[in-house]
Amino acid sequence: MTVATWQSAVGKAIIPVEREWLRSTAAEVEAEFGADTVIVNIGIFRGATMYCMRAGAPNARMVGIDTVYPQGHVLDKNLHAKVIKGDSGRLCESFEGPVHLLFIDGDHSYAGVKADIEGWTPKVAPGGIVCFHDFATEPKVAAKHAGIKRAVLEWEQTHNLKWYLLAPVGSLRAYRRVTL
């Protein structure tokens, strides 16, 4: 994966500082968990976030989930990722093993985000990270993403002893799991 690929992969909603955070965080997670690292990307659209995480974690097992993929766009075969078309809120039930980096950017509705949180965050290993895209957005799109913020803040209030809030980057809100 070349630097140009992860920095320029199609996806205007993911800004440069968020791309770099995903790349460096994936590298950090792979360094910590080694050969068993698992990255799950919910809501892959054209794969820009997957390219970023793959650049940082070249050896991780990567899974992308989206209800509408493919959208006339084919991911580079060198991405070495499994793409699953389906409802992430239901696919979590059959997913085995821990997740070390979970990126949630799928259904932006309150119910969709809540389902992803309830189904996927219990699978994140201690020391692993969950990240939500579009949590903090500019005022002209904030109403469109209100469900994300509501679901994340509700979850945060009930799980704050198990997760450590990381510094915000762009529209990302991320947490590191402390305990099970």
pLDDT given at position 122: 96
Dihedral sign for Cα 177, 180, 111, 29, please: positive
Residue with tokens 């990240």: 131
What single letter denotes the amino acid at residue 7?
Q
pLDDT given at position 167: 94
pLDDT tens, the chain, 180 aa long: 444 466 666 666 789 999 999 999 999 999 999 999 999 999 988 788 999 999 999 999 999 999 886 555 667 777 888 888 899 989 999 998 899 999 999 888 999 999 999 999 999 999 999 999 999 877 777 777 889 999 999 999 998 789 999 999 999 999 999 986
Dihedral sign for Cα 113, 33, 9, 72, please: negative
From the list 168, 145, 82, 154, the residue with the least C-alpha distance to 115 is 154
CATH topology of domain 3-177: Rossmann fold (3.40.50)
- pTM to 2 decimals? 0.91
